[in-house]
Amino acid sequence: MNNEKKAVPFVVVKRLPRYYRYLGELLRQGVTRISSGELSEKMGVTASQIRQDFNCFGGFGQQGYGYNIEKLYNEIGAILGLQHGYKTIIIGAGNLGHALANHSKFEKRGFTLVGIFDKNPDLIGTTINRITVSPMEELEEFCSRHKVDIAILALPKSAIDVVVPRLVGLNIKGLWNFSYTDIEVPPHIAVENVHLSDSLMTLSYRITQTNQDGER
């Protein structure tokens, strides 16, 4: 196995979280080995795609024997950087921020929510998932004291231009952006934009295909 992890193409990286989820489920079910054929059937991906993807980071597969699930799970987690553990804050305690704060799965993946911020006086001081909503004035002091890694932006577009520049100077490593707007940050900060409408458009495509098939 090699450690040239930078060589994994991004198109493969985008598929890794899904593999990671499936392998995690198998582990919880007590399964220890799986063939690419079985994994293929479970995930609806071709076995050859799976083999190609796993070859990008050293292979693992033994012909006719299958993959060691735990090893593969840990290796994929390491490529994704999940072993680091991240301290996160949510900015915006509206409905979306609220929903994200209550999403327990993130914690399991190593993302620990340490703070929630809002500028709305009605929300400041309320508690979501055991965390008290703090005023925006405390953002800088909080991030430096808690060494926050990731800020989750559950904000409207209009607030982004004010909030993002404040975050840039705070040693934040990544922004998870739900504002549906592009943001500009220096290259040392990673950004992942969530565009829910992309997923809805994919559903529209699936509906079109499903109905065409049905009519034949």
User: Given the complex with its own copies, which of 6 and 28 has the nearer CB atom?
Assistant: 6
Query: Binding mask 136-165 vs its own copies (x if CB under 8 A, - otherwise)?
Result: -------------xx---------------
Nearest of 23, 15, 77, 6 to residue 46 by alpha carbon: 15
User: Given the complex with its own copies, which of 81 and 169 has the nearer CB atom?
Assistant: 81
* Closest distance to its own copies from the beta carbon of 130 (Å): 16
Length of the chain: 216
Between CA 62 and CA 74 the distance in angstroms is: 18
Taking the CA atoms of residue 205, residue 37, residue 71 and residue 174 in that order, the dihedral angle to the nearest 10 degrees is: -10
Rg (CA), the chain: 20
Q: Is there binding between residue 212 and its own copies (CB under 8 A)?
A: yes
- Tokens 């990671």 correspond to 20
Query: Which residue type sits at 133?
Result: V
Q: Is there binding between residue 198 and its own copies (CB under 8 A)?
A: yes
* Closest distance to its own copies from the beta carbon of 99 (Å): 4
User: Given the complex with its own copies, which of 82 and 114 has the nearer CB atom?
Assistant: 82
Summarize the chain as % helix, strand, coil (round to 5): 50, 20, 35
Q: Is there binding between residue 187 and its own copies (CB under 8 A)?
A: yes
User: Given the complex with its own copies, which of 65 and 205 has the nearer CB atom?
Assistant: 205
Stretch that binds its own copies, among 16-24, 60-68, 116-124, 162-170 (CB under 8 A): 16-24
Q: Is there binding between residue 211 and its own copies (CB under 8 A)?
A: yes
Query: Binding mask 72-111 vs its own copies (x if CB under 8 A, - otherwise)?
Result: -------xxxx-x-x-------xxx-xxx-xx-xx--xxx
Between CA 67 and CA 174 the distance in angstroms is: 32
Q: Is there binding between residue 208 and its own copies (CB under 8 A)?
A: yes
SS3 (DSSP) at 95: helix
179: which residues sit within 8 A by CB, 6+ positions away? 153, 155, 156, 157, 159, 160
Checking phi first, is residue 60 left (phi over 0); if not, alpha (psi -120 to 50) or beta? left
* Closest distance to its own copies from the beta carbon of 144 (Å): 18
The residues that touch its own copies, with contacts defined as CB under 8 A, are 6, 11, 13-14, 16-18, 20-21, 79-82, 84, 86, 94-96, 98-100, 102-103, 105-106, 109-111, 149-150, 173-174, 176, 180, 187-192, 194-214
